[in-house]
Amino acid sequence: MPFGKITLDTMKIATWNVNSIRTRVGRVTDYLQRADLDVLAMQEIKCKPEQFPVEAFEAIGYKVTMHGLNQWNGVAFASKIEAEDVEIGFTGMPEFKDVLEARALGATFDGVRLWSLYVPNGRMLDDPHYTYKLEWLDRLAANTAEWLEYDPDQPLALMGDFNIAPLDTDVWNIDDFAGSTHVSVPERQAFEAFEQIGLRDPVRERIPTGYTYWDYQQLRFPRNEGMRIDFILGSDAFAERVTSAEIVRDERKGEGPSDHVPVVVTID
């Protein structure tokens, strides 16, 4: 047995929209080490594979698995252990303007199936991007239902920037969001669909309120005018193993932060 599969006692997993890995590599690797994460799912890496600063991750003992096409979107994992069964995108993932964007990356880590997801923003309620967002979520939910049916016992989690605030308390003032994306009924229904097929939010179960994103504009962070739009949605087999959760608000502070912060769970 020269190459037995690594089995971890516990696994600390996080999702983080890093808003450019080239700009943020120092902060991300610092946090990886400080938090001692086993797996980090990243979104908005905003680069092609050859532009990703892989060396900085390898220097601290992490492997990188990524999917990036250009300066937009882009998803990745950094992990101490090997990524297995890597999948780019999901079956029937919609295109936007004839392009399949880099918004979904799946991989298995020590038997745990994870997806790093960057859900389309939607832009405006009357924009084609909004229709794209809803279709994209619908296709993701259909795939997820099949994955759960195929192997209900495999721990599975969808992790990422969902660009939806499911509850009124997930934005600083719901009245300011009348007619906006992220809080519309169809978007919230699309989010609830994941719960209806059996996923749970182990972070919400432990941390009912609190934001994961604050816009750079208009002093949103100092005023604590944020949104909760980044989630880890787990199957029962995943959620039952979660022992703790954290939203790392401090990562919005200091020099050169992302506009999002890490959302973390530990499973045993």
Partner DNA sequence: ATGTCGCCTACGAGGCGA
Among 53, 68, 94, 120, binds DNA (CB under 7 A): 120
Residue 6 or 124: the one with the smaller Cβ distance to DNA is: 124
**Least distance from C-beta 219 to DNA, angstroms?**
5
Is residue 256 close enough to count as binding DNA by CB under 7 A?
yes
Residue 33 or 71: the one with the smaller Cβ distance to DNA is: 71
Is residue 124 close enough to count as binding DNA by CB under 7 A?
no
**Least distance from C-beta 46 to DNA, angstroms?**
4
**Least distance from C-beta 161 to DNA, angstroms?**
8
CA 81 to chain centre: 19
Is residue 149 close enough to count as binding DNA by CB under 7 A?
no
Q: How far is CA 184 from CA 74, 91, 188, in A?
A: 25, 26, 6
Cα distance between residue 83 and residue 113, in whole Å: 10
Q: Which stretch binds DNA (CB under 7 A): 21-29, 61-69, 195-203, 239-247?
A: 21-29
- For residues 177 and 213, the answer to whether their CB atoms sit within 8 Å is no
Is residue 71 close enough to count as binding DNA by CB under 7 A?
yes
**Least distance from C-beta 22 to DNA, angstroms?**
4
Q: Site size for DNA, by CB under 7 A?
A: 19
Among 46, 67, 80, 200, binds DNA (CB under 7 A): 46
Is residue 123 close enough to count as binding DNA by CB under 7 A?
yes
HEC readout, 214-239:
CCCHHHCCCCCCCECCEEEEECHHHH
Per-residue binding string, DNA, 187-226, x by CB under 7 A, is: -----------------------------xxxx-------
- For residues 131 and 171, the answer to whether their CB atoms sit within 8 Å is no
Q: How far is CA 14 from CA 77, 162, 212, 264, in A?
A: 10, 15, 12, 4
Cα distance between residue 114 and residue 157, in whole Å: 5
Q: What is the chain's length? A: 268
Dihedral (C-alpha) 104, 110, 111, 113: value to the nearest 10 degrees? -10
Residue 66 or 112: the one with the smaller Cβ distance to DNA is: 66
Q: Which stretch binds DNA (CB under 7 A): 28-36, 115-123, 189-197, 241-249?
A: 115-123
- For residues 258 and 251, the answer to whether their CB atoms sit within 8 Å is yes
Residue with tokens 């209806």: 196
Point out which residues bind DNA (CB under 7 A).
19-20, 22-24, 46-47, 51, 71-72, 120-121, 123, 129, 216-219, 256
